[in-house]
Structure 1
Amino acid sequence: MLRRVCLLLSAVLVCVSGLLAIGAPAQAASVTVTNATQFTDTTGAVVHAHGGGVLKVGTYYYWFGENRNPDNSFKYVSVYRSTDLKTWEFRNNVLTQSSAAELATANIERPKVIYNSTTGKYVMWMHKELATDYTQARVAVAVSDTVDGTYTYLGSFRPLGITSRDMTLYKDTDGSAYLVSSANENADLDIFKLTADYTGVASLVANPWPGTYREAPALFKRGSVYFMLTSGNSGWKPNQQRYATATSLAGPWTAMTDVGNDTAYGSQTAFVLPVQGTAGTSYLYMGDRWGNSIGGTVEDSQYVWLPLTFPTNTTMDLPWYPQIAVDTAAGTVTGVGGGPYYNLVTRHSGRCVDVSDNSAADSAVVLQYDCNSGLNQQWRLTDAGSGYVQVVAEHSGKCLDVANASTADGAYVNQYKCTTGTNQQWLLQDQGNGYYHLVARHSGKCLDVKDASTANGARLIQWTCGTGTNQQFQQRTA
């Protein structure tokens, strides 16, 4: 049957004609997805789509990913499909050890698929190594006439002779396609333009962050701005994710800046999926909590999916929620739980405790500012024992911290990755009329607006507790 197929690529709906065997899907509805879990398919089997990517064809989202042997070597690239991003139907092992001789002794990682409307081919790129070591540092390519059919393996190579490890694909609004590759022994992150048929590399477009050692790239476009989201190099151990922006893939790109907490909530970037619907487009962070980082293997890995939020056209937040609500028809992805979240409002000025410039960086300045809806003014209180709490910023997952654990009056209070330090533990002491002192456990001193200033931008410090209203804060539900 001839059907019209719509592909959601780079937040742009592209429609093509082709021969596809796609059954009538159930109507998608709002669903809740629980984080830091293994997902299961419609048969109850564990979904193995690690390091993967998603391609939308018609009303279905097709999720491709790694499915490995117990020793972590390659077994399959598996594909699942869903209309609601929760109910996953296993479709096929589209690439196997028997697909080509060199795959019998291979590691295959981070498979991504895009559609070429000129050739009518679905094109898969992946990172290829030997099963025994990481000396090959190649990409590999496979193609298929159908999205979830058997893929024909075309071989592996180094793009323009450059070593390649973690990688992703991106199809732009003009139909051009790009490979992003962790290159030169992971020191660089190269952007290559693909050939017209998407099966080869045509040119090196940019190497914007030489020597910065970034991996796990995810590239997407929001409006006129490209976002590159990456992790650092730390083996299986999760680390600080960072991102950069540009209005052209050739650059100039910004420097990488922190997003989320210091471990991406125990995960690593796999893909960013635009979810487009009647209410607009949301952007879903798809991360892997690798089994190797929690005492297992890749097949024990869990998934961490979170809504990306955008305070401005060129800035991004990665907040934590234990669950997300997804409505693919509306195009909405929202966080569920994790709170309640509060604005901390100073009594003397009526302004809110705020992380400056919406920064997710360690040591970012904490100050007072006009209250608004920003996640950098929303805080949750987590139990630290003996009546003390950590005060955690929603936008970054980082903690209110007395710099350098100083016990001195005037020591700055900043944002910093959450630790067990008592300089991040606060006691709320009732001061009447709904206001509280926040007393630092390590020093016994109070959170204080410096010099009792009422101005926007006044710094937060610690000071000997007194009766000043610049040391009194109200919790208002955000």
Structure 2
Amino acid sequence: MFPRRCRNLVFGFELIGAGVLHGKRILWTFLEIKGERMEMRNKFRKSTTLRCDSQSKCLISVVIGSLMVCILLLSLLSPTSRKNEMGQGIQIRTSHHLHLRELQEVEEENIQIPPPHKRPRRAPKRRPKRMTPLIDEFLDEDSQLRRKFFPDHKTFIDPMITGNDSMFYYPGRVWLDTEGNPIQAHGGGVIFDERSETYYWYGEYKDGPTYHAHEKGAARVDIIGIGCYSSKDLWSWKNEGIVLAAEETDETHDLHKSNVLERPKVIYNSRTGKYVMWMHIDNVNYTKASVGVAISDYPNGPFHYLQSKRPHGFDSRDMTIFKDDNGTAYLIYSSQGNSELHVGPLSEDYLDVTNVARRVLIGQHREAPALFKHKGTYYMITSGCTGWAPNEALAHAAESIMGPWETIGNPCIGENKMFRLATFLSQSTFVIPLPSSYPNLFIFMADRWNPADLRDSRYVWLPLMVGGLVDQPLDYNFRFPLWSRVSIYWHRKWRLPQGWNSLK
């Protein structure tokens, strides 16, 4: 049976066709009265009945025709629905009447880009032409908009202060831990530990000076280690310390402070009872392009570093790991010079890759993958490859985590157009699923990198929801199903629904 919406669309389409045929009959009657071109009547008149050799063939024709009409009308209505939604402002819609408290609609904020600075006549241009004015200002340390991108430390988020601002996320503000220090967990991810009923947030600890190792090198901070924070409510975070520390003396070690340690992700292996951390390991020139593995008996460490390698024999840079419902874990990483992503299952102990891998999003130059699963469908958010500069996020969907993956458009909603095309001046790192009582709601984790002072990079956490039509027409090729839309909503201030935490 077709969905009711499709049946109604088909019925309406048939009514339109019947009206057209009725109009044709009137026209032919008029021509008959006039006596003009009587011989044309039978030549061009089309039958209004279906002619079938058998009842089964007729039924098949009707089914195929109805499917074609549904696909055509859905593809036409998809962009129209999006325009209507954007014109009316942001509306959170779910089948369970879920309303996030204090969500502010900031659809088109008036951002005035200051005029370009005057430069000496022979001075080279500061940025490539491809940069938008907003991103150009974002990368300019002297920009008049600097305070908007990186709000003053006086506006920090302090979980120890109770009152009207309790439990509210302010994307882009300095976020303090329970001891009053800025959280240092960049490029990280979050796990929920069922044994301790606690959330753990792991990320790069960048509390050091930013510098360039050489003239053409990217901004960097020496490796300090991986920071870990624990929480019961995803808002107030206790500093658990550095759970994987840098190597200070051995220059040949992967974790020597002069190297690169990025994007740590942790999962728990119920068979071995170990917490396994995967991370991007590189040298200062980003030519090592490997993954590293560490293990621990406890979620708050310490983690013991094991080794690094190039997975499946390929270069690996931005990466993540994903644990499926059946316990199988996967490594997803940018490869082939960041031109494509590779996906492959891990071994049963999660300490190595298997010999199975699949190339996906070939030639699309995507990085910073963040995966999640919703109602049996796999979704992934990625960014473009522009270094520390923000760019447009894209959402992708697949029936199997091994692919094929189909791009379904930019998930960002709200703020002005330039902010949406720059992922709200941030880059994806992880997606946190909430308890089953809120099946459509997730938290999108992103980093707003500050290349002038990486320790002052900010966190952009926003509500992510799944549902509705995708935000751009798909190239329909009869591969069902049609993917649901992924929406990341911008809000200056928001919080999760009261009582969302099933642990309380």
Instruction: State whether TM-score is above 0.5.
Output: yes
The answer to whether the aligner puts 1:298 opposite 2:454 as a matched pair is: yes
CA 1:246–1:125: 2 relative to 1, 3 Å: same
Relative contact order (alpha carbons < 8 A, sep ≥ 6): 1 or 2 greater? 2
- For residue 271 of structure 1, the aligned residue among 415, 419, 430 is 430
Output aligned runs, 1:437-452, within 5 Å. none
Letter of the 1:42 counterpart: T
Paired position in structure 1 for 2:200: 62
The answer to whether the aligner puts 1:78 opposite 2:227 as a matched pair is: yes
Shift of 1:257: 2.1
The answer to whether the aligner puts 1:201 opposite 2:353 as a matched pair is: yes
Paired position in structure 1 for 2:50: none
Shift of 1:258: 2.0
Letter of the 1:50 counterpart: H
The answer to whether the aligner puts 1:121 opposite 2:260 as a matched pair is: no
- For residue 185 of structure 2, the aligned residue among 36, 49, 61 is 49
Q: Deviations over 1:337-358 (max 9, x none)?
A: xxxxxxxxxxxxxxxxxxxxxx
Q: Distance in 1 between matches of 2:315 and 2:361?
A: 16
Shift of 1:82: 0.8
Q: Distance in 2 between matches of 1:329 and 1:191?
A: 37
Q: Distance in 2 between matches of 1:232 and 1:309?
A: 22
Shift of 1:177: 0.2
The answer to whether the aligner puts 1:311 opposite 2:449 as a matched pair is: no
Q: Deviations over 1:90-114 (max 9, x none)?
A: 0121111139833123210000000
CA 1:191–1:30: 2 relative to 1, 3 Å: farther
Paired position in structure 1 for 2:364: 212
Paired position in structure 1 for 2:491: 321
CA contact (8 A) 1:125 1:169 kept: yes
CA contact (8 A) 2:312 2:357 kept: no
Q: Distance in 2 between matches of 1:205 and 1:155?
A: 20
The answer to whether the aligner puts 1:226 opposite 2:368 as a matched pair is: no
Shift of 1:280: 4.2
Shift of 1:278: 3.9
Shift of 1:327: 4.3
Letter of the 2:455 counterpart: E
CA contact (8 A) 2:371 2:431 kept: yes
Total equivalences in the alignment? 300
- For residue 446 of structure 2, the aligned residue among 287, 303, 307 is 287
Shift of 1:329: 4.5
Q: Distance in 2 between matches of 1:153 and 1:211?
A: 33
Decide which structure has greater strand share.
Answer: 1
CA contact (8 A) 2:254 2:308 kept: no
Shift of 1:40: 0.7
Q: Distance in 2 between matches of 1:255 and 1:87?
A: 35
Shift of 1:310: 2.1
Higher Rg:
2
CA 1:209–1:268: 2 relative to 1, 3 Å: same
Q: Distance in 2 between matches of 1:98 and 1:139?
A: 17
Q: Deviations over 1:331-387 (max 9, x none)?
A: 59xxxxxxxxxxxxxxxxxxxxxxxxxxxxxxxxxxxxxxxxxxxxxxxxxxxxxxx
**Percent same amino acid among aligned pairs?**
39
Paired position in structure 2 for 1:91: 240
Q: Distance in 2 between matches of 1:77 and 1:256?
A: 33
Q: Distance in 1 between matches of 2:225 and 2:340?
A: 29
- Secondary structure of the 1:299 match is helix
User: Structure 1: which 5+ runs fail to align?
Assistant: 1-28, 333-478
CA contact (8 A) 2:429 2:445 kept: yes
Shift of 1:205: 3.3
Q: TM-score scaled by structure 2?
A: 0.57
Shift of 1:33: 1.1
User: Structure 2: which 5+ runs fail to align?
Assistant: 1-164, 211-220, 413-419, 469-482
CA 1:328–1:207: 2 relative to 1, 3 Å: farther
Output aligned runs, 1:29-428, within 5 Å. 31-58=167-194, 59-68=197-206, 69-71=208-210, 72-98=221-247, 101-104=253-256, 105-130=258-283, 132-255=284-407, 257-260=409-412, 261-276=420-435, 278-280=437-439, 282-292=441-451, 296-312=452-468, 314-327=484-497, 329-330=499-500
Paired position in structure 1 for 2:475: none
CA contact (8 A) 2:339 2:364 kept: yes
CA 1:111–1:181: 2 relative to 1, 3 Å: same
CA contact (8 A) 1:239 1:264 kept: yes
Q: Distance in 1 between matches of 2:289 and 2:467?
A: 37
CA contact (8 A) 1:276 1:328 kept: no
Shift of 1:311: 2.8
Q: CA RMSD in A?
A: 1.9
Letter of the 1:263 counterpart: A
Q: Distance in 2 between matches of 1:331 and 1:232?
A: 34
Shift of 1:74: 1.3
Letter of the 2:264 counterpart: P
Paired position in structure 2 for 1:445: none
Shift of 1:315: 1.4
Paired position in structure 2 for 1:357: none
Shift of 1:167: 0.4
Shift of 1:281: 5.3
- Secondary structure of the 2:425 match is coil
Shift of 1:256: 5.1
- Secondary structure of the 1:220 match is strand
CA contact (8 A) 2:185 2:201 kept: yes
CA contact (8 A) 2:192 2:200 kept: yes
Q: Deviations over 1:288-311 (max 9, x none)?
A: 00011xxx2221101111111223
Q: Distance in 1 between matches of 2:485 and 2:299?
A: 34
CA 1:329–1:157: 2 relative to 1, 3 Å: farther
- Secondary structure of the 1:31 match is coil
CA contact (8 A) 1:305 1:324 kept: no
Q: Distance in 2 between matches of 1:278 and 1:250?
A: 28
